[in-house]
Structure 1
Amino acid sequence: MRIVVVEDEATLRRGIIQFIEQMNERYQVVGEADNGADGERIILELQPDLIITDIKMPDMSGLEMLEKLKAQHFEYRSIILSGYSEFEYAKRAISAGVQEYLLKPFTENELRRVLAELSLSIELQRSLDPAHKEGAASFDYYFNSLLLGAPVNLEVLAERLLKEYNLNIRQPFYLAAIYLHENCNEAEQSWEKLLYSQLDKTMKGPVCTFALPADHLHLLLLTDQQSIDQFYRVIKQMLMAEEKPPNMASGFIKCEDMTSFRMQLTELKNDLQWSIVLGDQIVIDHERIQTLVTQIVRYPVELERQIILEIHAIDLNTMYSTCQEFLHYWRSKLYHPEDVIHAFVQFCSAIVNAAHKASLKWEQTLNLRRVYLKLMDSLTWSELSGTLLELYAEMQDSVRDYKLEYSPVIKRVIHYIDLHLHERITQLEVADKLRITPEYLSLLFAKEVGNNFNAYVREKKMNRAKELLIESELSGYEISSLLGFTDPKYFYKVFKNVTGLSTSDFIKIHRR
């Protein structure tokens, strides 16, 4: 599929082009432009299959460009990019014939899905050429037409499947699916090669297969129970490989005939979510999972409350432990996968919403919509749990080296701490000096500094203690007094908790 990208934001344009080129070797970006006028000229010259364009651009808008192309009878498929403020504009573009729109900021998964659907549509249109009709059409064309609800001559399809695969779709058959997903396209392709290699070795006779790249699914049409047994062996061999796929799910469903194909595939895709609770070792049998008895979900609200408190305290270490406890909770009993996914959505939503209130940096970097989409698309435990842990890692990274031009209030707080480091400093005392409430100081300090008040003071005092231990001949007892500690034992305890060393061991390592 040949693509032209028209977008006036250079960074976004380069990002889209880079992602498209890495996504699929069949996608080729043949041209780009930063305004509608240049875009029109390049499109007419290069004749692409697909146009990706922003709406609002200098010189000529994306919508004006598409309307001019349409007036010149240029046939195109297009994706328009729109900000939320331009939503009504986007709807008008769709009514004018645009196939898809994406609201900024859009995710990689959203762009991947839209490109796959349009690519499929383009391939189907090409296959309607007289040379590809009826007997000469590919099986991919037939199956994709069925999925899109397009008319298909089932008699011709039945004759070809019987002749080429000894598969009679006029009577019940099995539809099997294997889900393989990797963030790296090259890695996913290597797992696909392993899959088809195992199919060739294990399945007796040719097997009708086709892929749904947008869903990372590989589908097989199987004749009887014997071929299902062979399918089980393929999955077992995949999982016994020296390196097994990190995100894999498999299952099958019985189809009465090809007229039910579309509905049965939808059911099978939903069935694959059972891999979240049953594990990737289990091949999901549609009939068997109907008999499974699952536990009634009691959402662990106490863990949600706990992690919200930890977020407001910017206590990353305890947050990680709470995330692990939440993950363990869903592995202890058999729950329905939909209930588990919804619980993860609720938990992650609570985390992001609390984080937005606790830290300005988190408010700027954490995207709830992106997290939600990843959770809802999960078909394996690795994907579901990985989304939560990735969220934690993103929070950790975003505050690690965070520096901000602080508000006047926080500048005064930090200045006060620096001047009074030799004294015992309390949040109540500082709030009183600034004539603000302790609660407001706590909220503002955490949001701007990315740390809670007491932890920040402790970190400042310990950094000064390390400097004095290295640069002076003062004892730990003397330094504790200089830094406002009334109890030397408490100072030694705090120092060891922060550094992992006693003051004497620290001196031995660092003082020359």
Structure 2
Amino acid sequence: MYRVMLIDDEPIILEKLQNVIDWEKENCRIVAVADNGAEAMNLCRDLKPQIIFSDIYMPLMDGLELAEEIKILLPESLVILISGYNEFAYAQKAIEAGVFRYLLKPIRAGELSKILAEAKSRLTERRQATEEKIRLQNLIKKNLPGLREKFFVKLINGQLGPEDLKEQLAFLEIKLQGEWWGTILFHLDNYPQLAQKKKEAELQFYQFHLLELIKKRYTAPSFLYSLIHRPAEIVLLYGLTEPGEEKKLYETTLFVQDEILKADGVSFSAGFGGLYPELVALERSYQEALLALEFKVWTGANALIPYRDIENSKSGRLLHHREQETFSSLLRGGNREKILGFIQQIFTTLKTANYLHMPKSYLLLTVLDLVNQIIRSLLEFNGSLEEIYGPAFDPVREINNFETLDQLQTWLEKMAWQAVAFINDHKQKVGRNFVEKAREYIEENFHDPDLNLEKVADQVYVSSCYLSRLFKEVTAYSFTEYLNRRRVSAAEKLLLTTGAKIYEIAEAVGFRDSHYFGIVFKKITGLAPSDYRDQIRSNPFA
């Protein structure tokens, strides 16, 4: 039941308020009555009424003063003021004091019940809103681990700026400690092969076992957070008081590598990104850790690869740079001359004085970086390395057998040449397939006057520009030329086998304008449609 308090300095009014309606039927209980504001405030502190009816004019503390005090003491309670005056000034002050309603004397049961119903409805709405807020707060608290993980994933993917961090860290209740921030990436070795041999349950076990070992063994840094980011990839974000503490992380990583190898028979490699004084720089550290792990192809499995150990400030070849993307684009484009020119430019640069003192390991990693781009491009076109390069293809072993840059350049040019030959052949097969599907669609719909390049391209799921180029390459005709020839071919049969009028035949094969049909027909056959019909009928063997 709702707790009600009645306040009035006139006993007759106070008695009438208690008896004018059946409070119990209204689901209300009068918990207190008072004849002045000061007494009412004392009762409010103890009884905490939810609905308060109060006269405006009272000794010691009037109704408006009382309403202001109650607003502070019981902000969820509703105050209804009673007055014999209907003046705007009072109503305005009542609103400022947070009064819910304004009830005029003499008090009538109907009016009192109406205002009481409104007050109960408002309290119910507030209670429901409060319950919903509590429910959502509990839900957020329950899901905080997942929300924190999403926050850190966004952080390493560069989706958060410095201005977002403070607010989100407070919301997620993340307490940071440290002056230097870095990342470690753990990749299960030979994951594609493991995925083919092992069941999903076993793969998940390896991943979660490694995650548990990471949480258990890495204790030195001031701050740690680990998560499974992708299949076979676990990210550890950490904060250090000083950079020298990183050595302890190396030691722990080697220990965990031995531990999981003995326990599960699997190995992992770890890439260490750089250390930075800003938390937002964890994105850069993460990208560096990814780049470090790309060189596992040279270091082998069960490796620990700090980014700073492979970074070459002179050549820049070990970084994610524009030239790498250029080489990939050239391979996909299939232009042999441009690819060979690019490789020659790379090796010309490597032979300059700035690179004479480059360690051999850096040089080999630079070449392996280019090899990696060739292999990725082939895989994009469903190429088989064994079919293209033979079953004994082992680029790491072959590269290590070369002693001069010229030998390396010749080998890389040959490898790129073979890749481009496969890519171009594959693209031609794919192109012919698209054109064949387009021709089938034209065959079925050439009579449609609205048929055009865009409509056919949509049907075979390629761009109109690409289909136009393919048509020219495969058929030696442009799309429009091919469509017109198909329509004219159909018109020839109709001219020979039917007595239909020229404009009827034009419409039947997809031309809206019989005059334009005549122009196209004559351009392709050398004769106007009527002349063609006369000549064929007079000499069917011509």
TM bucket normalised to smaller = 0.3 to 0.5
TM-score, with structure 1 as normaliser: 0.32
TM-score, with structure 2 as normaliser: 0.31
Q: Which structure has the bigger radius of gyration?
A: 2
